[in-house]
C-alpha cells in the first residue's frame, strides 16, 4: 500500500462546460473526467472508477425522468452510487491516485451537470471531505 503524501488538497469539482473558466483561473489545472462517457473533445485524464454505472444510471433516469431533482430521486441515486462505486474505494487512497494521475497539479473532477444540478460529483466531494480531503465546487 502506498502512503498518502501529506498535501493532497485541495480538490475541486466542476463540469465540462466550465473548463475555459477553470483554465483561466488555474492554467495548469489537472482536469479529470469522472463521467460515465467523456466528451470526445476532452483532452484531460479519465478516472472511470468514480463514474456511475450505466445500467443503474439508465434505470434512474427512466424512473425519475419527470423530476431528477426530487428528494426521492437523489436518495435513490445516492444509495446506488455509494453501494456500487464508493463502497469499494478508499477516499484518501483515491485522492492520492488522482494527484498521481495529474502530476500533483490541482485536481478538478469533471462531469456534465452544472453546479446547481444534482450530480455524482457532489457525492464524491462530500465523500472526500468526510475523509479529510478538502474538496469544493468550482463555479
Question: What are 2-26's pLDDT values in tens digits?
Answer: 444 445 668 999 999 999 999 999 9
Q: Domain extents for the chain?
A: 11-137
- pLDDT > 90 in the chain, percent: 71
- pLDDT > 70 in the chain, percent: 94
Alpha-carbon distance of 101 to 134, in angstroms, equals 18
Inform me whether the pLDDT recorded for 117 exceeds 50: yes
Is-contact 107 32, C-beta < 8 A? yes
pTM for this model (two decimals): 0.90
Mean pLDDT, rounded, for 64-71: 87
Task: Name the β-bridge partners of 110.
Answer: 14, 33
Between the alpha carbon of residue 91 and those of residues 19, 38, 98, the distances in Å are 24, 22, 10
Q: What share of the chain is helix, strand, coil (3-state, %, to 5)?
A: 45, 15, 40
Q: In sequence order, what are the residues at sequence separation of 6 or more whose Cβ sits closer than 8 angstroms to the Cβ of residue 29? A: 22, 23, 105, 106, 108
| pLDDT level of residue 77 (50, 70, 90 thresholds) | confident
Cβ atoms within 10 Å of 117's Cβ, excluding its own: 11
Predicted pLDDT of residue 87: 95
| pLDDT level of residue 60 (50, 70, 90 thresholds) | confident
Question: What are 79-106's pLDDT values in tens digits?
Answer: 999 999 999 999 999 999 999 999 978 9
| Sole residue written with cell 463555479 | 139
Amino acid at each position: 500500500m502506498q502512503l498518502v503524501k501529506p498535501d493532497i488538497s485541495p480538490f475541486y469539482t466542476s463540469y465540462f462546460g466550465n473548463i475555459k473558466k477553470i483554465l483561466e483561473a488555474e492554467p495548469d489545472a489537472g482536469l479529470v473526467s469522472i463521467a460515465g462517457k467523456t466528451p470526445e473533445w476532452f483532452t484531460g485524464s479519465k478516472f472511470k472508477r468514480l463514474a456511475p454505472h450505466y445500467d443503474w444510471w439508465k434505470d434512474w433516469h427512466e424512473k425519475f425522468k419527470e423530476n431528477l431533482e426530487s428528494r426521492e430521486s437523489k436518495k435513490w441515486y445516492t444509495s446506488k452510487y455509494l453501494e456500487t462505486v464508493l463502497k469499494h474505494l478508499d477516499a484518501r487512497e483515491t485522492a492520492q491516485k488522482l494527484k498521481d494521475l495529474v502530476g500533483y497539479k490541482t485536481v478538478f473532477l469533471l462531469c456534465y451537470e452544472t453546479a446547481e444540478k444534482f450530480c455524482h460529483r457532489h457525492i464524491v466531494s462530500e465523500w472526500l471531505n468526510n475523509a479529510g480531503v478538502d474538496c469544493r465546487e468550482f463555479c
